Amino acid sequence: MPPVTDDASVPSAEVSADRLMGGRVVLLQPRRGYRAAIDPVLLAAAVAARPGECVLDAGCGTGAAALCLAARLPKVEVVGIERDPELADLALRSVACNRMESRVRVVSGDLLHPPPEVRRARFSWVMSNPPYLEAGRSRLPAEPRRQAAFLESVPLAAWIAACLKRLACGGSLVLIHRADRLVDLCAALHGRAGEVTVFPLWPRAGEPARRVLVRARKGSRAPSKLLPGLVLHRADGGFTDAAEAILRKAEALPW
């Protein structure tokens, strides 16, 4: 059933109220700037947390991935950390709209210098949809908030190290990123985590992957795996049945 919302979800000139995962999640987000699409839904679907475990959403933005995960796994707790206070406030309002206050918390702060409630915790899972673009090497969006969402404020290796630091030993990190940054992702994980599993996201059958999901386990020395991945779109542009099952029906990623 779609969540019951209150007046906080009413759209305004600056904020829209959108639905994800077939209407299971209401997300408040700015009308201008970065707007969540399918990446956070796929990221949440890649987390196989068990009942009672706690997941950190590193750089949670307006809370899309955190809310999708909580909707799919109702016995899991989620903590989101976001350095932009306005986005963190929207995430908190979305939590209230979805009536998930008992299971989803949003903390305003910097992942590399987290507040005590995050710094002292050790999470079973950390998931993250970090900025994709390297500073000085990419053409930037004109809108400042889109720049903040897409442009790395710290090197990718430092972001991954900060995520791993928040994990308990044996915990898992899940990232979604550009496929052309896979070498950087693997290099940042090398020596810090093992059992690296790569799950390509193919736009259409026969086309190169543009995104990858990467999972790694802290403290593991198990070998890496490259999985078949997921084809997102049919030739006519619609989502494949397998993608629909994840994006609309809240099924888990098949890995």
Q: Looking at 139-153, 178-192, 202-216, which range is the least confident one?
A: 139-153
In the predicted structure, residue 8 carries a pLDDT above the cut 70: no
Annotated domain spans of the chain: 12-247
- Whole-number Å distance between alpha carbons of 57 and 3: 21
Query: Could you read off the pLDDT of 78-116 as tens digits, one per residue?
Result: 999 999 999 999 999 999 999 999 999 999 999 999 999
Checking if the pLDDT of 65 tops 50, the result is: yes
Res. 13 pLDDT band, cuts 50 70 90: confident
* 227 HSE (CA, 13 A, CB side): 18
Q: Both tokens of residue 187?
A: 């290099």
At residue 248, φ and ψ (nearest 5 deg) are -110, -30
Determine contact, residues 90/14, Cβ cutoff 8 Å. Answer: no
pTM for the structure as a whole: 0.91
3-class secondary-structure state, position 185: helix
* Higher-scoring residue by pLDDT: 53, 6: 53
In 31-186, the DSSP E strands lie at: 54-58, 77-82, 104-108, 123-128, 167-178
Q: Check residue 146 and give its pLDDT.
A: 61
Say whether pLDDT at 221 is over 90. Answer: yes
Fold of 12-247: Rossmann fold (3.40.50)
Nearest alpha carbon to residue 128 among 179, 61, 76, 184:
61
pLDDT of residue 237: 96
pLDDT at position 131 over 80: yes
66-83 pLDDT, tens digit each: 999 999 999 999 999 999
d(CA 2, CA 24): 5
Is the pLDDT reported for residue 2 higher than 70?
Answer: no
pLDDT at residue 151, rounded to an integer: 72
Number of H helices, E strands in the chain: 8, 11
pLDDT of residue 1: 46
Half-sphere exposure of 249 (CA within 13 A, CB side): 11
Residue 179 has pLDDT above 60, yes or no: yes
Say how far apart CA 188 and CA 222 lie, in whole Å.
Answer: 17
Both tokens assigned to 96 = 């209230």
Nearest CA to 67 out of 117, 10, 130, 18 is that of 18
Min mean pLDDT across 34-48, 126-140, 179-193 is at: 126-140
All residues at 6 or more sequence positions from 239 whose CB lies less than 8 Å from its CB, including other chains? 232, 233, 247, 248
